[in-house]
Amino acid sequence: MKKIIFLLIFIIPGLIMSCDSYLDINEDPNSPSEADVTSDMIFPGVEMNIATGYGNYLRTAGGYFSQQYAQLFGTSNYLDYSEFNMSATRSSSTYSQLYTHGLLNLKTIREKSTENEEWGTYLAATTLRVFVLQALVDAYGEFPYTEALDDENLSPKYDEGEDIYDGIIAELDSALYKVSGTETVCTNFLFGSNSVDNWIKFANALKLKLLMRESNVKDVQTQLAALITEDNFPAEDVSWDDCWTNEKGAANPFYQEDFADYFAAQFNLVANLAFMKTMSDSNDARKEKFFEPNDDGDYTGGISGSNFSNTKLYKAGYFCRPLASFDMPVYLINVFEIDFFKAEYYARYGTAADAKIWYEAGIKASFETSGLDASDAINIYTTSYPYDNANYKELIGIQKWIALGGTNNFEAWCELRRLDFPKFTSVTGDEIYDEANDVYDPSKYTAGTLYTPITVNSELGDNQLLERFPYAESSSSRNSNAPDNKLGNVPVFWAK
């Protein structure tokens, strides 16, 4: 029998997430039988499941691994992330939430929509499935795919990341082929309407990202050219943004975890010196949209690998907290990401003039997403970071790092590993902050670079990013086919 998991109330440590009456199906003692379950009943809950794991846990970890966040004075919840560490147990609940519950329910929706030839819903479910599977490859590198989600196979084989990417691109192509553009989609939060058009655009943008990641290791220029030529991408950011309310269990998951006063919360996140000083040195107005000023009205950042627990000078009020609200969006893909992908495409395969156009468009789009006017971006692309095709990877890499720091920190970590910018310099965290003598000298940091944390993952050493998560314990512990973990310095396939 197929397994349908009504995980429509989502639990993470100390937190229950919900967004609508759709999420209360579990509470009905007369819940529908398997035969009576419809896609409309399942789909909104699946969306909130994904929003909770992706929009909170992966965002938080990605922010630390990208040196956009540092650890607040006096707390230690994410100090291991600040040291570029991830354990097999830390990510297990989120892995299970996304992989087991999310993907199982999406499997049910895909099967039901196939039976009923509801190809709009099939495309929407496939697009979210591909989104989740891509995020898991980007985090773990390898996991069960071809033998996954089978109740009778308790030890599915782990597939290589490249094979999973090829498979999910084929899944997207097949789902896109089935729609004409006139189909409807079941009830959903992401776009609100039943039109399939936005899902087609989202699927195309997701495919663009997949192919650009693959392009580092295989020739996908023909497929990229077809997508770029068709140019049927979202004109607005794709996000869950109209389904959050200011109450316990119904607010944005990132906000609720580290910013809300619904619980006896322990605040952790502050700006990282690397991220903040890069924006400050170029008079980047986005910093005021991404972070609160400190108690003195200044914009300052902490250091990776420390929480300043012994400091006399730099107390909690010295550092800047990220701006967050109960109704902030959970972004799946931003317009500026699409623009930057186009800029990279033209830099590699087209003309420098076209690359420049899309590079500047990406910066402008990021400012607009931040609530600023496109004209506020002029100093960034004319003075601080003017386009130069010879250095396209550095320029796009730094601007993506900044733009994603306010919307999607997990994607920032992915693009850091792929583009290899910003780069590390020889300056280390303990040179910037001498913990023993409580001496903090931010002037030693160079804008637009990374630095080795004061205390760093022993698998990495100096001047290395964490390249992957260890396999989630919930996936590998009872799987006889689970391979040995790879070290944290082993890149996922597209970053080799």
Instruction: Express each pLDDT in 41-91 by its tens digit.
Output: 999 999 999 999 999 999 999 999 999 999 998 889 999 999 999 999 999
Chain centroid offset of residue 371 CA: 20
As a whole number of angstroms, the distance between CA 460 and CA 462 comes to: 7
- The dihedral built from the CA positions of residue 404, 410, 412 and 414, taken in this order, carries a sign that is negative
What is the CATH code for 40-242+334-495?
1.25.40.390
Distance of alpha carbon 235 from alpha carbon 237, whole angstroms: 7
pLDDT at 26: 39
- Distance separating the N- and C-terminal Cα atoms of the chain: 41
Q: What integer pLDDT is reported at residue 31 of this predicted model?
A: 53
- Assess contact for 441 and 480: CB atoms under 8 A: no
178, 290, 356, 366, 402 from 377: Cα distances, Å: 41, 15, 14, 9, 13
**pLDDT value at residue 35:** 67
| Interatomic CA distance for residues 83 and 459, integer angstroms | 11
Q: What is the pTM of this model?
A: 0.94
Long-range contacts of 280-284 (CB under 8 A, 24+ apart): 281/384, 281/447, 282/379, 282/380, 282/383, 282/384, 282/385, 282/447, 283/379, 283/384, 284/380, 284/384, 284/402
Contact 48, 19 (CB under 8 A): yes
Question: Amino acid identity, residue 55?
Answer: G
Residue pair 359/395 in contact by the 8 Å Cβ criterion:
yes
**Rounded CA gap, 169 and 224, in Å?**
12
Q: Find residue 449's DSSP bridge partners.
A: 423
Tokens of 228: 């770029």
pLDDT number for residue 74: 84
> β-pairing, 449-452 with 423-428?
parallel
The residues near 291 (Cβ < 8 Å, ≥ 6 apart) are 271, 276, 299, 320, 321, 322, 323
1-17 pLDDT per residue, tens: 344 444 443 333 333 33
- For 169, the token pair is 């691109």
Residue 121's CB is within 10 A of a number of other CB atoms, namely 27
pLDDT at 314: 82
Task: Answer for the pair 125, 179: CB distance below 8 angstroms, yes or no.
Answer: no
Residue 351's pLDDT is what?
Answer: 98
Which residues of the chain have a pLDDT value below 70?
1-35
Amino acid sitting at position 201: K
